[in-house]
Each structure stands twice: as C-alpha cells, then as structure tokens.
Amino acid sequence: MRRLRAEWEPQRCVLMSFPHKDTDWHDPNNPKSLEEALSVHIRIAQAIAYKEPVYILCDDKKRISEMFCSTFNMIFLKIPTNDTWIRDYGYISVEENGEMKLLDFTFDGWGGKFDATLDNRVNSELYKTGLMGTTPMESIDFVLEGGAIENDGKGTVLTTTRCLCNPNRNGGLTKTQVEAKLQAYLGAKRVLWLDHGGLEGDDTDGHIDTLVRFVDEATIAYISCEDSDDTHYGELKAMEAQLRTFRQADGKPYRLVPLPMPEAIYDNQGNRLPATYANFLITNAALIYPTYGDKYNDQKAGEIFKSLFPSKEIIPVNCRKLIEQGGSLHCATMQVAR
C-alpha cells in the first residue's frame, strides 16, 4: 500500500537545479541575466540550508560553491540539466509498506513545449551518486510533474483538469483514467479536480502549485483575485466557488484561506507573467515564500503565512527574476521525504 507524503512531513533534503549558460537564463541581450538568476537560487538555497540539507545540481561544483559565503548543509553535484524547474522532474516521495520509495516519473517539458532530455535523466543520474542510500527508486513510464499535484498526506490528491487531462500529457486521458494511475502509483484514495483557474504566461497548462495549496489536511490556501478589471478575475472566482464545494474525506468543508494577487508583472514584450504567492515551499523549519517587489501584497502574504505556520520561521525571497521564465520558488525546489 502506497501513501504520497505531504510536503509538511519530515524531509531528508531539498533538491535544486542551478542556472547555467545552456539554460534560458543565459540571455545574450542581457549579460547580467544569468548572474541575477543565480543570485535568487543562492538565496533560496541559503534559506533552506540553515536547518536542512540542500542538494544542488550544477554545471561546475567549484564555481557555484564559491558563490556562497557558507556551504553548510549543501552538497554540490555536477549533473547536466536543461532547465531549473526541478519541482517538475525531481523525485516524488511515497511511503510503501512503511518504507520510503522514490518515484521517477517521465518528464516531457510540459507537454513537449521544451527540450527536457537531460531533465528527464536527472533522477537516475542523481540516484547513481549513492546519496539516496538504500531508498529504492522506481522509474515510471507516465508523464507527471510534481507541480501538477497537491496532497494532504492522507490519500487526497488535488490537481487541475487542464494539466493532467491535457492531450499533450499521456495522449489525453479522462479523469477516470488519470485517477486510476494516481491510485496505482501514488496510493491516491480520491482526487479533487479543479476545472477553473490558470494564470497568464503559464507554460505548465495550469499547475496546481501556482493556484491552490494544502497547508494541512484541513486547510487550503489559494490565490484570490478581487479586482474585477483583472483578466484573471472570472476564472479565479469560478475556482474559488469550486473550492467551496470540496469536502474533506470525513465530509467536513475545508478551511479556505485566500492569498492576495501581486500587482501585475509584465515582460519586455508586454506579456503578463504568472506571479503568485501560492508558490511557497514548506521545509522542516521554515515557510519560504516568493515576493515580487510589491510592498503591500508581499507583506500581506507574509502575515498570512505567519498565521498559517506559527511554529515555522517565515522567510521571504524576492523571486521577481524567476518569474521572467514563468516559474517561482516552489517550482525551483523539490523536497525528498525521509
């Protein structure tokens, strides 16, 4: 019997993939782009490492390690990658018959949008280092990204129809077919489907970790749009209404906690970017959340997180640079359960 581990359960480490010259962070028109992206990744790694190990995949161990003032709790690994969004190709941790198991799902670059050949090999390459010890790894011929699923550690999986039933993932399966896969691979007892939501500039076809997150088994945090002039307003209000219909396994309604929308951020071509406070990371000792240079909403989000996680340190990290490539803090990390 399998059980998908919740993010707030004990972790052995967090995985990160650092930007390098062969990623999209290398911009010939902006020589500082790669350096700026590295700076954000360094701040995230430092926020994790003061109480928890971080395994950093990079192209040059010596060069990257020398960028840190301290490398306490950090292990640097030279493993080739296409991109930095390890949430979507890193291990997914399950418990099977009381023992931990690492699942290596297929990653195809969000439905074939980008080359992911190297990223799809990361889990097997990392496993070869021996750092996972005797914990077994299972490779699965099924496309599933870590950012596409949320779970409560008790058998409930939360996801979006737009992503997991998309024809560009596994040929376009029905909800029933996807649920059977999630039951077999993750031990899902039930699946809650969001049919609304989504952010402009999102390449993932509606990953749940940009929209709605479990805080504990009875509490759901979600992004809320209160500006009727915002292009997201209709879809996010429909998503909010659907969340109100969801029930816990015992039939009780969830406690729903709205998160603010940051002020709209645009790229140089005027395209809106998918900035969201829902892309936070829960670690053993901290709640690390993205900020975007929006003084009012950054602070408001921080206050909400303090109320939700009173026993954890609340650490903000400015991720405005990360959102230029469509991802944020949670997308750049993947926890491994212990």
Give pLDDT tens digits for 113-155: 999 999 999 999 999 999 999 999 999 999 999 999 999 999 9
Residue found by looking up tokens 């301290």 in the block: 70
Q: Which of the pair, 1 or 184, is modelled with greater confidence?
A: 184
Q: Where are the beta strands (DSSP E) in the chain?
A: 2-4, 11-17, 54-58, 74-78, 92-96, 99-106, 137-143, 150-151, 156-160, 190-194, 212-216, 219-223, 255-259, 281-282, 286-291, 313-318, 334-337
What is the predicted pLDDT for the residue at 31?
87
Q: How many CB atoms are closer than 10 A to CB 47? A: 23
For the chain, what percent of residues have pLDDT higher than 70?
Answer: 100
What is the predicted pLDDT for the residue at 302?
98
Residue found by looking up tokens 């190990």 in the block: 53
Looking at residues 173-201, what average pLDDT do you find? 97
Looking at residues 259-277, what average pLDDT do you find? 97
The pTM of the whole model exceeds 0.95? yes
Angle at 149 between CA 144 and CA 155, to 5 degrees: 110
What is the predicted pLDDT for the residue at 192?
98
Angle at 307 between CA 305 and CA 312, to 5 degrees: 65
Domains of the chain: residue spans and CATH? 2-337 (3.75.10.10)
Distance between CA atoms of 209 and 327, rounded to whole angstroms?
A: 10
Distance between CA atoms of 181 and 103, rounded to whole angstroms?
A: 13
Give pLDDT tens digits for 281-316: 999 999 999 999 999 999 999 999 999 999 999 999
> Dihedrals φ, ψ of 183, to 5°?
-70, -45
Looking at residues 40-67, what average pLDDT do you find? 98
Looking at residues 318-332, what average pLDDT do you find? 98
Give pLDDT tens digits for 193-245: 999 998 999 999 999 999 999 999 999 999 999 999 999 999 999 999 999 99
Sequence-ordered alpha helix ranges (H) in the chain: 33-49, 61-65, 109-112, 122-128, 161-164, 175-186, 233-245, 295-308
Model confidence at 29, pLDDT cuts 50, 70, 90, reads confident
Type of residue numbered 116: A
Give pLDDT tens digits for 57-88: 999 999 999 999 999 999 999 999 999 999 99
Burial of residue 277, with CB atoms counted within 10 A of its CB: 0-12 exposed, 13-18 middle, 19 or more buried: buried
